Structure 1
Amino acid sequence: MLTEILRELGPFLYMINQGNVGDALIAASTVALFEKEGLPFIPCGQNLPSGMEEIVLVYGGGGGFVPWFGMLPHYVQLFSDSRIRRCVILPQSFRECDELVDVLDERFTVCCRERASYEYCLSRNGRARFLLADDMALVADAGMLKNGAFPCRF
């Protein structure tokens, strides 16, 4: 189902979720899936590029949508950008981030990686589309881990 949602987007920017080595595995697994499925993506940094009037964004999965890392203001600003035409947030954990969940609207399809996050998001927001989905690390191919190398292009 997730692959079909991504395919419907057409070309998109892919922004990884910054974090630790677990997030690197998630990002590498995500890129490997995009490449395997022939999805037209362009990696981007942690800020949306200037000079684009409309943006289709896929934001990487992880566990950062919590208050403990100090990144919530960045995410609120990022997802409030009016240039975002469509956005898919890959499987994330959500905890105590009301201000973030509240900015997500009809442009957003949000994948939650556990039931608690899913129920939390649904309890706060009736505008975005919320789905339960497995962590992107679970799509990792064991071969990509050989020699500690991830096949990432970002």
Structure 2
Amino acid sequence: MNPTQDPARLSPAEFQRLLATLLGGRRRIEFIANPGNAGDALINAGAWQVFERLGLASRVVRPDPARRGDAVLYPGGGNLIPRYDNARRAIEARMAAPFDVFVLLPHTIRGHEDLLQRLDARFHVFCRDLETYAHVRRHAPAARAYLADDLALLLDPDWLLSPRRRLARFAQLLSRPSRARAYGHWRWRLRPIRPVDGTLQILRVDVESAGHAGADPRLDLSACYGSYFDAPGEAELVAGDFLRVLQAADRVVTDRLHVGIGASLLDKEVVLLDNDYGKNRALYELSMRTRFPRTRFAEHRPAAAASPLSVAHG
């Protein structure tokens, strides 16, 4: 296929069948924790939900030297762009290992051309936008590239918000005191994030901000938590709380990709703005435009949301 030719995006069913083929026969699946924020909890919760559907969860292990017959799995996200090196370091550290398959779950990829050129046929790279796909095809000719949805889009909110499941996951989290304390702090930070007149405006305040005026760091939902999300319980609990915050709104205005995805899954009215390098627009065009009729992409915030929203306290 020509690197610039548009491929067909894998449907969720096709993606899961392919993942089952790649991982199903492996003795162990080494899961490399990817540091991220609360939005990344939705990606990781989506991944663990897929693992359960496919019967793979019991073979997923924390980082351990890969052996022949193993698969290596790197979570989805946006960690393979020039300003971050977590994914790059993880890939480079394992290139000489005798694993059979390396799966990079749906990612946004920019730059890192020298690394991509070193990927061999063991590498299967899932791309969550067309620009990423073309970039990987051009610079990683030996690897296999596919186009697939961000894993948060595979989440079943009812599954995630089930009270019985959340209780079981909380019991698991209590076995890790440091993460349990971090989770308690996260819950405290969520208290002021409430809609005003039915609208939540959540704008990023980090290096990926496109400079939308009125961003309030107290309302940056995704930035309120950070973790490696190397266990399903933590990812599911944080992702569930994330959705509960969004459930309270009728309308969400955001440049946070996973705030936009979470609100869309809940059938809210969503205005999605871009980040500083076009990630949100690219994913919206591929995976969200036709699926979510109440979600639209906008270059600028609508006038009704142009002034900073107040922070509700209580």
TM-score normalised to structure 1 length:
0.83
**Residue 37 in 1 paired to residue 50 in 2?**
no
How far 1:91 moved relative to its partner?
0.2
Alpha-carbon deviations, 1:84-104, whole Å to 9, x = none? 211111100101111321221
**Residue 53 in 1 paired to residue 70 in 2?**
no
Q: Helix, strand or coil: the match of 2:100?
A: strand
Kindly indicate whether the alpha-carbon contact (under 8 Å) linking 2:33 and 2:75 is maintained by their aligned counterparts in 1. yes
1:66 equivalent in structure 2: 81
> 1:21 is matched by which residue type in structure 2?
A
CA distance in 1, matches of 2:87, 2:75: 15
CA distance in 2, matches of 1:73, 1:42: 21
67 and 75 in structure 1: CA distance in 2 versus 1, 3 angstrom threshold? farther
> 2:67 is matched by which residue type in structure 1?
E
Alpha-carbon deviations, 1:1-33, whole Å to 9, x = none? 222222222232233422111211101111011
CA distance in 2, matches of 1:29, 1:134: 11
CA distance in 2, matches of 1:70, 1:109: 19
Question: Which deviates more, 110-119 or 10-19?
Answer: 10-19
Alpha-carbon deviations, 1:37-84, whole Å to 9, x = none? 222531314xxx13x532311221111001212335513423413222
Kindly indicate whether the alpha-carbon contact (under 8 Å) linking 1:121 and 1:130 is maintained by their aligned counterparts in 2. yes
Q: Helix, strand or coil: the match of 1:69?
A: coil
**Residue 18 in 1 paired to residue 24 in 2?**
no
Structure number with greater CO (CA < 8 Å, separation at least 6) is 1
Question: Which deviates more, 82-91 or 68-77?
Answer: 68-77
Give the one of 106, 118, 123 matched to 2:121: 106
RMSD: 2.3
145 and 99 in structure 1: CA distance in 2 versus 1, 3 angstrom threshold? farther
Kindly indicate whether the alpha-carbon contact (under 8 Å) linking 1:63 and 1:93 is maintained by their aligned counterparts in 2. yes
Structure 2, unpaired ranges of 5+: 1-13, 170-231, 235-314
Kindly indicate whether the alpha-carbon contact (under 8 Å) linking 1:16 and 1:27 is maintained by their aligned counterparts in 2. no
TM-score normalised to structure 2 length:
0.43
Question: Which deviates more, 31-40 or 115-124?
Answer: 31-40
1:28 equivalent in structure 2: 45
> 2:95 is matched by which residue type in structure 1?
S
Structure 1 residue ranges, 4+ long, deviating more than 3 angstroms after superposition: none
CA distance in 2, matches of 1:7, 1:44: 19
1:123 equivalent in structure 2: 138
Kindly indicate whether the alpha-carbon contact (under 8 Å) linking 1:112 and 1:118 is maintained by their aligned counterparts in 2. yes
Q: Which structure's residues are more often strand, by fraction? A: 1
**Residue 81 in 1 paired to residue 99 in 2?**
no
1:4 equivalent in structure 2: 17
> 2:77 is matched by which residue type in structure 1?
G
How far 1:153 moved relative to its partner?
4.5
Larger Rg: 2
